[in-house]
Amino acid sequence: MNLSTGKYWDVPWTPIVGCSPCSEGCEHCRAAAMARRQEYFYLVTNGAWNGQVRFRPEVLEAPLHWRAPKVVATCWMGDIGYALQAHAMVHEVARIFGVIAYACQHTYLVLTKRPAALAAAINAARFREVAEIQHEEFQERRMPLNGQDLAKIPWPPKNVFLGISAENQENLDKRLPELFRCGPGWNYWVSFEPLLGPIYSLFETDRGACYVCGHQRVASHVCGNSGIKLSNVVLGGETGSGARPMEADWARRVRDDCAAAGIPYFFKGWGQWAPHRHGDGHRCQDKSPCTKTDLEYCPRGMADRLLDGQQHNDLAWGKP
């Protein structure tokens, strides 16, 4: 990890590559842009994922050979939920989770915009069976396991964080309840990258219903399913050509909600647009009062990671 640049993971792991656009946050997909310049160019058409998906068995076992513990960006060159939804890759994804459970010295970050497909797969009996078979195969082959000897696969694996990417309140309301259907015992997180609209509540839909149980929330309501909760929130603005701006108050509101609920909050950065910088060097959001609210375009790497004058680097999966 390199928190000075907003990088909150160590290495990518891409046993599944490919996706298809599904919402506003996909319009300037960085992964698609990278794929177009690499060997996966045939998965991209006119700058966007074309719906094809490739499973890469040749990299499936890579985490088993990394000795030092790492935070692993898992299948971020695509969407694991899309592979399940559109290509029925239940067997392949189950094998990935078998690796996750076996190479337990690492922490794995999974992100999807199709959490319903992920929840359906995880809750299927066959999914766990395939993961256990993969786990047993590694044991029989005496694959490296960081000195540990696990007779049975732990379930749910404690070293994986299942997350959704949401760019606004509408998509948070849709995706977070679907993610929670994976059930208790999992670690959950949300990535607001890029954040393209305000988030009015992290904990209930715009209809006032609890994300976890659907109860119409009142001041005294406490969700009875205490095994389901958010472990982390990551938030950042959009980068790259055609990047759309993120308002400072959107980031502040999520920060304050996280602080009130005790949820780790990581502010990745402003993206391509940041609050106006004055002649003395400070940005409008760094000092109060300040009446200028304009955002200014920043060349890549020039926008800082300060929100109200400080960095926010809280992560549930550890610090460097």
Decide which of 277 and 39 is more confident: 39
Strands 44-45 and 48-49, sheet pairing:
antiparallel
Extract the tokens encoding 159.
């070293």
Residue range 69-92: mean pLDDT, rounded: 96
Res 258: pLDDT: 93
Helix (H) or strand (E) run with residue 107 in it: strand 107-112
Which range among 61-65, 136-140, 304-308 shows the weakest confidence by mean pLDDT? 136-140
Looking at the predicted structure, is the pLDDT value of residue 287 above 90? Answer: no
Helix-, strand-, coil-residue percentages of the chain, each rounded to 5: 30, 20, 50
Res 228: pLDDT: 81
CA distance 117 to 119: 5
Looking at the predicted structure, is the pLDDT value of residue 200 above 60? Answer: yes
Res 304: pLDDT: 77
Res 176: pLDDT: 93
How many other C-beta atoms are found inside a 10 Å radius of the C-beta of residue 212?
A: 21
Helix (H) or strand (E) run with residue 265 in it: strand 265-269
Res 302: pLDDT: 61
User: Which pLDDT band holds residue 288 (cuts at 50, 70, 90)?
Assistant: very low
Q: Tens digits of per-residue pLDDT, 239-264?
A: 888 899 999 999 999 999 999 989 99
Residue range 168-177: mean pLDDT, rounded: 94
Q: SS3 of 40, please? A: coil
Share of the chain above pLDDT 90, in %: 60
The angle at the Cα of 281, spanning 280 to 283, to the nearest 5 degrees, equals 115
Is 230 buried (19+), middle (13-18) or exposed (0-12) by CB count in 10 A? buried
Extract the tokens encoding 19.
């996706």
Strands 187-192 and 230-236, sheet pairing:
parallel
CA distance 88 to 106: 27
Looking at the predicted structure, is the pLDDT value of residue 206 above 60? Answer: no
Strands 16-17 and 160-165, sheet pairing:
unpaired
Res 147: pLDDT: 43
Report the residue count for the chain: 320
All residues at 6 or more sequence positions from 36 whose CB lies less than 8 Å from its CB, including other chains:
44, 47
User: Alpha carbon 114 to chain centroid distance?
Assistant: 12
CA distance 319 to 96: 25
- pTM of whole model > 0.75? yes
Q: Which of 3-7, 73-77, 102-106, 139-143 has the highest mean pLDDT?
A: 73-77
DSSP 294-305: -EEE--TTTS--
Decide which of 140 and 306 is more confident: 306
Res 39: pLDDT: 84
Looking at the predicted structure, is the pLDDT value of residue 279 above 50? Answer: no
Which range among 97-106, 147-156, 170-179, 310-319 shows the weakest confidence by mean pLDDT? 147-156
Looking at the predicted structure, is the pLDDT value of residue 320 above 70? Answer: no
Are 282 and 252 in contact, with CB atoms under 8 Å apart? no
Looking at the predicted structure, is the pLDDT value of residue 14 above 90? Answer: yes
Q: Tens digits of per-residue pLDDT, 178-194?
A: 999 999 999 999 999 99
User: Which pLDDT band holds residue 229 (cuts at 50, 70, 90)?
Assistant: confident
User: Alpha carbon 263 to chain centroid distance?
Assistant: 15
Looking at the predicted structure, is the pLDDT value of residue 285 above 60? Answer: no
Res 213: pLDDT: 61
Res 273: pLDDT: 87
User: Which pLDDT band holds residue 280 (cuts at 50, 70, 90)?
Assistant: very low
Are 276 and 283 in contact, with CB atoms under 8 Å apart? yes
User: Alpha carbon 42 to chain centroid distance?
Assistant: 25
DSSP letter (8 states) at residue 171 = H
Which range among 94-98, 165-169, 224-228 shows the weakest confidence by mean pLDDT? 224-228
Place of tokens 């929840």: 119
Distances (CA, A) of 27 to 13, 60, 240: 23, 29, 11
Q: Tens digits of per-residue pLDDT, 125-154?
A: 899 999 988 888 887 887 766 545 555 677
CA distance 154 to 38: 36
Averaged confidence pLDDT in the chain: 85
